[in-house]
Amino acid sequence: MAEAITSREQDYSQWYNDLILKGGLADYSAVRGCMVIKPYGFALWENMRDQLDRMFKETGHVNAYFPLFIPKSFLSREAAHVEGFAKECAVVTHYRLKNDPNGGGVVVDPEAKLEEELIVRPTSETIIWNTYKDWIQSYRDLPILVNQWANVVRWEMRTRLFLRTAEFLWQEGHTAHATADEAVIETRKMLDVYAQFAEEWMAVPVIKGVKTANERFAGAVDTYCIEALMQDGKALQAGTSHFLGQNFAKAFDVKFSDKENKLEYVWATSWGVSTRLIGGLVMAHSDDQGLILPPKIAPLQVVIVPIFKNDVEKGMIDNKVAEIIQNLKDLGIRVKYDDQDNVRPGWKFAEYELKGVPVRMAIGPRDLSNNVVEIARRDTKQKQSVTMDGIAFYVQALLDEIQLNIFEKARRYRDEHITRVNTWDEFVETLQNKGGFVSAHWDGTAETEEEIKTKTKATIRCIPLDNEPEEGTCILTGKPSTQRVLFALAY
RNA sequence: CGGGAGGUAGUUCAGCCCGGUAGAAUACCUGGUUUGGGACCAGGGGGUCGCAGGUUCGAAUCCUGUCCUCCCGACCA
């Protein structure tokens, strides 16, 4: 059992690392804080990316690409923005290497210093709004609904595979609008797209909400988010959508003529999700045997394992499997036939459980003579013999059922871990012993939020959008409050 | 960026304290027997001991520096 993974109970962090590494999603690299996304992990990301891309296009967006490098001066145009990112920017200062005169390989050529240093983008608002200035003159040029798929760099001190790496892949949507209303509608629309994607495709239930001033994106007027809950009771911000007001339009002087020929600043949004979603996906569903991937985005949906004693049996199984594979592929199901003969069936079973393949089919001589296959589902580990007649349709329905079951299980867990508390003692006790979201009254001040964070490490994850107004008193200060907010320990 | 731990075969690790030409298990290759939950027998290949200096007749082992990883903390998505 060289592949054994650490149990969640024993060490949750190590369990997570084991799943990523041994499940074949990613590896560490020679570069601090940067990871290698391996083919299996990248296939997962491609499935997520492709679906999100379809959803962006369905909502009227188009893709474009902006430079990796941003002139240093751009970043400082918007005061809050630079404040938010300054501490984690990688800076390009030179453009040439030369041979070390002392024979130590290559060194930076001091003659080749850049006139203006370039920042490796931590996000692209500045370069994009500098560009939009040239694209926008009148209300007829609006809205601009652009997305880009890109990598960004944030020089993190402490990194975790997928959850927080120095370089990561994401998409960033950047839209420009004639009115504040339209921009707010766009912000909310994309939040809905993210929520729908998380729940229907990743099977991760999320809470839609708005961030407090403390947690807001640097440069935004309002930051909306989807928050997910991991199995260790910690929350994970899975996506954000920002109403940027006119902050960037003013910083980059982007104005348009309205219908009355008056010059107005443009209204903006930006929104993004990243490879961090993969970390959330892993922690939301998986178990001590390995990954559990939702069928809709799993790189492989079905693996077929033959069981045979000799070439004759193998040949008979091959023939039957070829037929089944064709039927599955006709339904658009992603299937792999693992007929390696150097590992035995039991090894393969364990391997594909580790990799989270939703459905496994085993076919041996006994099955052939009985016209059945053994079907095992990853989410519940149930095994049963199923007739081969119409097997592809059976599998198709089973994949749907697994997708739903994974989501329902995660939703039950999430719902059981939203605790309403009314006193400070209950609040602390719940955070310590139960975890999850804690719904409590807060007096609305940044100072109180900060003090709660210092005392408990819990932050306000969001003010849920579907909040009911409710009179109450702040759990810390006892001051009046009009609604509950969700606190949690977070990634 | 601070505190702690670690880096030796593809992988997991022993060897280091007390310096003397590098080991186990597993994986891999060959042959055979096997195959319904991580097979067995026999033979075989594989490591500049993270990297760079230093001490020494001699360094995986001692010293210095450096890189990467994990855990905890501060910071952040």
The answer to whether A42 touches A297, Cβ cutoff 8 Å, is no
Spanning CA of A16 to C1' of B41, the rounded length in angstroms is 38
Residue A448: enclosing H or E segment and its boundaries? helix A446-456
Q: What ipTM describes this predicted complex?
A: 0.91
- Rounded Cα distance between A487 and A474, Å, is 13
**Chain A 67-86 residues in 7 Å CB range of strand B:** 84
Q: Is the CB of A218 under 7 A from strand B?
A: yes
Give which of A302, A281, A304, A303 is closest to A293, Cα–Cα.
Answer: A281
Mean pLDDT of chain A: 94
How many angstroms separate the CA of A311 from the C1' of B42? 24
Whether A307 shows a pLDDT value over 70: the answer reads yes
Task: Give the distance, in angstroms, between residue A18 CA and nucleotide B62 C1'.
Answer: 35
User: What percent of chain A shows pLDDT beyond 70?
Assistant: 99
Q: Which residues of A428-452 are buried (b: 16+ CB within 10 A; e: fewer)?
A: bebbeeebbbbbbbbbbeeebbeeb
A272: tokens are 């993004």
Provide the pLDDT for residue A103: 65
Distance CA A132, CA A135 (A): 5
For residues A342 and A390, which has the higher predicted lDDT (pLDDT)? Answer: A390
| Alpha-carbon gap, residue A130 to A269, rounded angstroms | 15
Residue A104's pLDDT is 65
Q: For strand B, is any atom closer than 7 Å to the CB of A267?
A: no
Q: Which nucleotides of B are covered by protein (CB under 7 A)?
A: 1-2, 10-12, 26-29, 34-39, 67-77
Cβ of A287 less than 7 A from strand B:
no
pLDDT band at A108 (very low <50, low <70, confident <90, very high): confident
* Residue, of A277 and A84, whose pLDDT is higher: A277
- At residue A56, the 3 state secondary structure works out as helix
Q: Which of residues 163-182 of A touch strand B (CB under 7 A)?
A: 163-166, 168
Q: Which residue is nearest to nucleotide B12 (CA to C1')?
A: A2
Find the mean pLDDT for residues A130-134.
97
Total residues belonging to chain A:
491
pLDDT the model gives residue A2: 40
Using C1' positions and the CA of A216, the closest nucleotide is B77
Q: Is A376 near strand B, with its CB below 7 A from some atom of it? A: yes
Cβ contact A215 with chain B strand, < 7 A: yes
pLDDT at A316 over 80: yes
| pLDDT at residue A1, rounded to an integer | 35
Which nucleotide is closest to the Cα of A361 by its C1'?
B36
CA of A103 to C1' of B60 (A): 28
Q: How confident is the model at residue A422 (pLDDT cuts 50, 70, 90)?
A: very high
Residue A101: predicted pLDDT: 73
> Residue A5, CA: closest nucleotide via C1'?
B12
CA at A39, C1' at B39: how many angstroms apart? 30
Residues 293-322 of chain A with CB under 7 A from strand B are 307-310
Q: Average of pLDDT values for A392-410? A: 98
Nucleotide whose C1' lies closest to the alpha carbon of residue A349: B37
Beta-bridge mates of residue A138: A257
Q: Tell me the CA–C1' distance in angstroms for A304 and B9.
A: 33
> Domains along chain A?
2-285 (3.30.930.10), 302-401 (3.40.50.800), 418-488 (3.30.110.30)
Asked if residue A158 keeps its beta carbon closer than 7 A to nucleic acid strand B, the reply is yes
A2 touches strand B (CB under 7 A): yes
Which residues from the 439-458 window of protein chain A have CB within 7 angstroms of nucleic acid chain B? 457
Q: How far apart are CA A257 and CA A155, in angstroms?
A: 40
> Is pLDDT of A221 > 50?
yes
Cβ of A349 less than 7 A from strand B: yes
Going across the sheet that includes A69-71, the strands are: A69-71, A113-120, A91-94
Straight-line distance from CA A21 to C1' B18, in Å? 38
Mean per-residue pLDDT for A188-213?
Answer: 97
Is the CB of residue A24 inside 7 Å of nucleic acid strand B?
A: no
Q: Pick out the nucleotide with least CA–C1' distance to A367.
A: B36
Considering all nucleic acid strands, name the nucleotide whose C1' atom is nearest to the C-alpha of residue A305.
B36
A28 touches strand B (CB under 7 A): yes
Q: Which of A294, A291, A328, A310 is nearest to A411 (CA)?
A: A294
Alpha carbon distance A120, A149 (integer Å): 15
* Tens digit of each residue's pLDDT (9 = 90 or more) over A138-158: 999 999 999 999 999 999 989
Q: Which of residues 89-148 of A touch strand B (CB under 7 A)?
A: none
